[in-house]
Structure 1
């Protein structure tokens, strides 16, 4: 019995030593965390101060440019180029500093710090975001086909459209987090998911009130909701993705865009049906048209820019 007690005493002393080390490690951690917070505040304050001074400098340069000589104009142009480069550096710096959330994130999450401080964490979050889009897109496509050809029930259509609303709402939140962490997602691909969220919500409300005589026309719209939206990944990575031996997907992409145009035309015709009294039909038609124009024109713009870039590389010796 005494031997067992001695072993317990030794184990407790070992645990006590480890606990003392843990306390010291935690004290150092808290100290470093306070130092990190102070450095973050200092960097953010300095960046804001630099931005204010640069803003004042740009106004002064604009006033000087009106009455400048050719030599002075060249100097002003050079300073302007340096200012533009400095602003890009500020953008990269701020990607690693806590910042206030935008209006949308504030409404959804509140004033929560969503900044990821390491490149590893940023890449991991972005990779998880891409996987989420890929898996959910496959599930939604299968669900759309099932609703169109197998499950001809109003309740399954409502569940499917509720899933679409949740999917696009989740995408907008995740993209906002990515933007807060320095991702250069911009332009149409950001607006696209807000428009798609609105479309799915309106579609869901319409399903609850559509007359039975219009059910066949309504069912034909199911296959358009999740598909034909955009290439995988945010717009910043589209060019590199599209030209890595995957250009064969472009025809499918354009088919999805024109399917949205087909749905817009179908809904515009449906809005004039004598049995169709719902406001959702015209709104859905207009929204599908907006999606088609945004997706089609943006994809054309990216393809044209990449082709132009390839031509310039070819012309260079």
Structure 2
């Protein structure tokens, strides 16, 4: 071969690609500038809107601006800001840094949300299987428990990161559920570093049965609430980016909640039982030097109390409506 190939078509395609890429970079820079400009303008609009709302409440707006118009503009600004890059909150900055996590395309948002839901379901099944395995061979090795605890800590951390990204992109989730996952990360992490010993063995089986129970109930809850969310979307009562876990709570029928409430209450009572057991263990001689015991007891109590209070508020609100 003389090292020379006559292929003008290939050269022309390559030059076209270079031109397209150059144009793409130029357009991206323009889009980036427009996004910054829109974000700055939206912040100014929010400040002006806040001033107008205060004036309306005092009856001193001095212009023909109605409360309905203010509400419409506020909703419009919210949708605009959901598609614009924004600074990450403290949690996201600690995990992904300053990377832009805004998903501008509605279709891509739905795809990301569906993958989140499938991830949650699949890992819940894995945790259930690991719990059964750890119970089955608990007398031989603690390896399955280490794997279970590591997967649980990673699962809640991954859930929290994905939920923060979804919230940034328009999904709605109650503040308590965000806090609940922070507590769950702490609980799983503390169990992971709890040293082997008599104190741990006193709580070992209760913890394994609790993990098995909560993973099984989470899976049943997911299957039921996914059906409820589909129904709410069909009726126009739910947003496309709403979470599966909120669907059963948002249904207008009290009857729809009767399926979930017994399972949820059983889980919350189990959490209180864990807290009470750990409280009593703290006074045992072999447990008094372990900080994991009182901390876990307090965390289980907070989670149980927060879950019960949230459920009670939902039931009262639905009963009154």
Aligning the two structures, in what range does the TM-score lie when normalised by the shorter sequence? 0.7 to 0.9
Which stretch of the first structure deviates more once superposed, 51-60 or 263-272? 51-60
- Asked if 1:122 corresponds to 2:134, the answer is no
Residues in 1 aligned to 2:83 and 2:144: alpha-carbon distance in whole angstroms: 44
Cα offsets for 1:13-37 (capped at 9, x unmatched): 1112222322232233223222322
Aligned-residue offset at 1:289? 1.4
Aligned-residue offset at 1:199? 1.0
Cα offsets for 1:112-171 (capped at 9, x unmatched): 111111011111111111111111111112212222343333343233212211111111
1:169 maps to what in 2? 157
1:41 maps to what in 2? 36
Cα offsets for 1:23-60 (capped at 9, x unmatched): 23223322322232222122111101111212333444
- Asked if 1:290 corresponds to 2:284, the answer is no
Aligned-residue offset at 1:186? 2.8
Residues in 1 aligned to 2:291 and 2:46: alpha-carbon distance in whole angstroms: 48
Residues in 2 aligned to 1:144 and 1:304: alpha-carbon distance in whole angstroms: 35
- Asked if 1:280 corresponds to 2:292, the answer is yes
Residues in 1 aligned to 2:24 and 2:158: alpha-carbon distance in whole angstroms: 34
The TM-score normalised by the length of structure 2 is: 0.79
Residues in 1 aligned to 2:159 and 2:106: alpha-carbon distance in whole angstroms: 21
- Asked if 1:268 corresponds to 2:279, the answer is yes
Unaligned 5+ runs, structure 2: 227-240
Cα offsets for 1:70-116 (capped at 9, x unmatched): xx9xx99x845543443332222111110100011111111111111
Aligned-residue offset at 1:246? 8.6
Unaligned 5+ runs, structure 1: 310-317
Please state whether the residue corresponding to 2:297 is helix, strand or coil.
helix
Aligned-residue offset at 1:286? 1.4
* 8 Å contact kept, 1:114–1:177: yes
* 8 Å contact kept, 2:84–2:104: yes
Correspondences of 1:230-309 after superposition (within 5 Å): 231-232=221-222, 236-241=243-248, 248-277=259-288, 278-306=290-318, 309=321
2:118 maps to what in 1? 131
RMSD: 3.1
* 8 Å contact kept, 2:83–2:169: yes
Aligned-residue offset at 1:307? 5.5
The TM-score normalised by the length of structure 1 is: 0.80
Residues in 1 aligned to 2:101 and 2:200: alpha-carbon distance in whole angstroms: 45
